[in-house]
Structures are given as C-alpha cells and as structure tokens.
Amino acid sequence: VICSDKTGTLTTNQMTVVAIAYPSTAAATLKENEVTGTSYVPIGEVVGLKSPADVADLAKVCVLCNQAVIRYADGKYERVGEPTEAALKVLAEKIGVAMFSAAT
C-alpha cells in the first residue's frame, strides 16, 4: 500500500518517501519510522531503524518491482521513470540495500 499526497508531484514533479509502516513483531500492530531527506538525492535515513534487515524485504520489493532509474548528471540527481518508483528506489538506498541502478 502506498499512501501519497500528490501535491509535491504536481508542483515540483518529485516525490519523496517521508515515512514507512510495516508489521511489528507484536500481533496486529504496525511499526512506523520517519524517513529523512528530500528529492531524489539518496542521502537520509530511516529514523529509529535498528537494523536494515528489519525492512530488507520491503527494500528489495522497492527496487526489484521498479523500472525507474536515479542518475547523477550535471551535478544533480534526477529520475528517469515514474516519480513514485524513483522515490521507492531512493528509499531503498536510505535503508541500505545496495541495488541502486544508474543509467549510463
């Protein structure tokens, strides 16, 4: 499930993941973490994440089920593809999954 506010996409043509929620070890509860950083710059962190292994499956899905590419060109990061998919690739980088792909 992706919950989004389309305002950023419409005004800046960018999207950023600002929080993630996933099942906790306690029955029927969700754990939520804030995600820092903005735009497609893959710098930031998942606040309070004790181990990337806790959300490794989430990060893998964000990368493997994704056709967007984040590339560094002319001194800035830019996306090739859909804004939502690019935001999910950046999230995977912030989590620490080393599957980031770059266009040539």
Q: Which residues are catalytic?
A: 5
Cβ–Cβ < 8 Å for 87, 17: yes
DSSP state of 35: B
Judge residue 78's burial from the number of C-beta atoms within 10 Å of its C-beta, 0-12 exposed, 13-18 middle, 19 or more buried. middle
List, in order, residues 6 or more apart from 34 with CB less than 8 Å away.
18, 19, 46, 47, 48
d(CA 33, CA 36): 10
